[in-house]
Amino acid sequence: MAGVREQRQQQHHAMDNSSDDDDEQEGEWEEWGNGGGDDEDEENTKTLCLFCEETLASPETVFKHCVEQHAFDFSKLRAASHLSLYDCLCLINFIRSRVSMDVCWNCGSKYDTRKALLEHLNAVKHTDLPEVTNGVPSWSDEKFLTPFLENDPLLYSCEGDDDEQSEEFDVVDKDKAVRELLEFSSMNKQSIANVVEMAAKDDTSVQGLGLGDSNLADLTKVFLALGDGFWDESTSPTGASVLSNKGISSSSAKIISGTVGDVPALESDVEGENSFGIKEAVVMKKDNKDKKLRVSFAKVAEREMRNANRDYFGSYSAFGIHREMLSDRVRTDAYRDSILKNPALFKDAVVMDVGCGTGILSLFAAQAGALKVIAVDGSSKIASVAQQIAKANGYLKEAGEGKGESRASGVMTVVTGMIEDLDSTMPAPVQGVDVLISEWMGYCLLFESMLPSVLHARDRWLKPGGAILPDTAHMYVAGFGKGGTSLPFWEDVYGFDMQFVGQEVVHDATQMPIIDVVDCKDVVTNSCLVQSFDLVTMKTEDVDFTSEFHLELPSEKERSGFGENNIMTPESANIVCCYGLVVWFDTGFTDRFCREQPVLLSTSPHNPKTHWSQTLLTFREPIALTDSLMDFPKKADIEKIGSKSLPALALNGRLSIARSSRHRSIDISVEISAILKDGLKRTWPVQMFDI
């Protein structure tokens, strides 16, 4: 390679001193580009593997070798992460730098030997980019633009695909498209007016938008009204992409192979100005290549989903949250008992743990006698930690030293990646798992949206009739009183009245759920089951639901422990104020699978607290309830129903929970009505919450 570098330096020197001889310079450049012959061409393309010491014939063979020998697919990672040319250069140099120190490029684990590092890479199979630290990916530092290996052929191999890569994943949102269109001086107000007028003619959804002067806001309204179909592509007989007939007819304008920034250049049927009033000067081709324009608003959602997943798995790479979960004895004991006290279920079974974290459930399964345990986690860092924990405790499956032999020293295999992306790399056959375990529950049961991943694993990997733990989940609501808010605290702070602060806090809580532990004495109504999930049979769409509930005061005896903070009027002990709804869940390890010892994991305020706490949905105003059947005026003022002067006998409501457009979040809506004895009711406007 030193000879090649010397030759290149000589060629550059010759080029610098021969600028007056164009033919000679061109010849030298061509000779340098061709490597000077077949032998030198082979020498130029010989490439050192990213991970081991093997040198192969070309970058292509190195990438193939990395897939087959080191479980690293650079092309797949580049496409999935939408890496630019500069990203690729940084990543390659970053990997070489880390590997030279026997450090894992992804999770940062340090090993004593290169062999130990390679075993780690093959076992964990990193498929994502390294975790983001302090908001900045460590691998993308500009210092990694400097080649780690001089004249590294891998770096040159990245250049060829950059145009196609960047165009394939280019995304244009509507506001950005409009703004860039307006940057062209040739597109004046009259031009925008032409767009608005033309769109309104062809699409009724644009009519009646209340458009004023021709400006950005008007044009944005048009784009939003036309919807994604405005950008839909179809192929003309000549192969050019044309606008769909929604909004703009293909005879008016067509998209040609070329863009101005991220905005499609529009070609007119007549010379001069096109149908949008944009001069033909802005119509250009990019690099004279016939490239197809791709505009996909769906990819915006994909990127948001990918970012949400990265944040989600990144949050679980910190050890604090794992200590919190492991310290939750209610949670951990329930899983331990369901596994260790049902040995017949786990003896010689193939077990999959989805979202394994530190691997505690997998360790329990191995301890219970499982034949094979596959621990899966989307965080590469925590998956590496799980692997080291399994090894330290003698449960990690490792290859033996013998030639042609493989000796297992343990039963656990740790796999990195989202379960939905592991179909081709999972070390188990389809429907080859006997028991599927997962601690998938989030706040309000469904926050973090991990349940669909568990259902995917069930459908893909679980044997027919196989066990899933837990196999049921139930959600409940009840009303909570004043003690469930922060009002009592602010009423007396070292002898000072700070009630107005408490009122502000409660007002804020009407717009955002509160995750907190509610004392059982602050639950002022009966509880009501609002949703049940059977994880054996449910579908992903069942995660979204709407359910009705009915709440009323329990008996006076049951209410005696509520506490004085819930009493609305001292002279009326049976009038209680309900400040909102408290939501919790139970999950069951039922005798359907746990025949030896069924287990119930409950997050109820009536049971010991867990790290999930409860979810509080606060009403805009407290609603007074009574269990008295006293008569009220026949012509009661509806607006006073639920007040202390006209307390309600019961609350009827409807709770809706659905996965949010923001990936891994959930949207919650609450509709509530206060009912009198004679059926007269007062209904409040719907309240929206999100987590």
Cα–Cα–Cα angle for 462, 467, 471, nearest 5°?
115
550's tokens:
């009915």
Q: How far is CA 568 from the centre of its chain?
A: 44
Task: Please state whether beta strands 514-516 and 545-551 pair in parallel, antiparallel, or not at all (unpaired).
Answer: unpaired
What interhelical angle do 216-226 and 174-182 show, nearest 10?
140
Q: Is the peptide bond before 470 cis (omega within 30 degrees of 0)?
A: yes
> Is the Cβ–Cβ distance between 392 and 366 less than 8 Å?
no
337's tokens:
């008992």
Distance CA 680, CA 675 (A): 6
Distance CA 139, CA 97 (A): 10
Name the phi and psi angles at 502, rounded to 5: -60, -40
**How crowded is residue 213: how many other Cβ atoms within 10 Å of its Cβ?**
9
Helix (H, G, I), strand (E, B) or coil at 401: coil
Distance CA 420, CA 425 (A): 11
Cα–Cα–Cα angle for 130, 135, 141, nearest 5°?
65
Element (H or E) spanning 547, and its range? strand 545-551
Catalytic residue among 28, 150, 159, 439: 439
538's tokens:
């449910």
What interhelical angle do 22-34 and 2-16 show, nearest 10?
160
DSSP 475-502: EEEEEE-GGGSSHHHHH-BTTB--HHHH
Instruction: Kindly list the distances between the CA atom of residue 27 and the CA atoms of 42, 269, 376, in Å, as whole numbers in the listed order.
Output: 20, 45, 56
Burial class (CB within 10 angstroms; exposed 0-12, middle 13-18, buried 19+) of 385: buried
Distance CA 439, CA 316 (A): 13
Residue 448 known to be catalytic = yes
Distance CA 170, CA 292 (A): 11
Distance CA 397, CA 166 (A): 41
Task: Please state whether beta strands 55-56 and 47-48 pair in parallel, antiparallel, or not at all (unpaired).
Answer: antiparallel
Instruction: Kindly list the distances between the CA atom of residue 687 and the CA atoms of 154, 446, 454, 672, in Å, as whole numbers in the listed order.
Output: 56, 19, 30, 9
> Is the Cβ–Cβ distance between 479 and 651 less than 8 Å?
yes
In this structure, the dihedral spanned by the alpha carbons of residues 561, 563, 564 and 568, taken in order and rounded to 10 degrees, is -80
Distance CA 638, CA 632 (A): 12
> Is the Cβ–Cβ distance between 525 and 479 less than 8 Å?
yes
Residue 161, C-beta contacts closer than 8 angstroms, at least 6 positions apart: none
Catalytic residue among 40, 233, 448, 491: 448
166's tokens:
């960047």
127's tokens:
């498929």
Distance CA 379, CA 385 (A): 10
Distance CA 8, CA 44 (A): 11
Name the phi and psi angles at 10, rounded to 5: -65, -40
Residue with tokens 């033919």: 23
Cα–Cα–Cα angle for 366, 369, 373, nearest 5°?
40
Active site residues: 439, 448
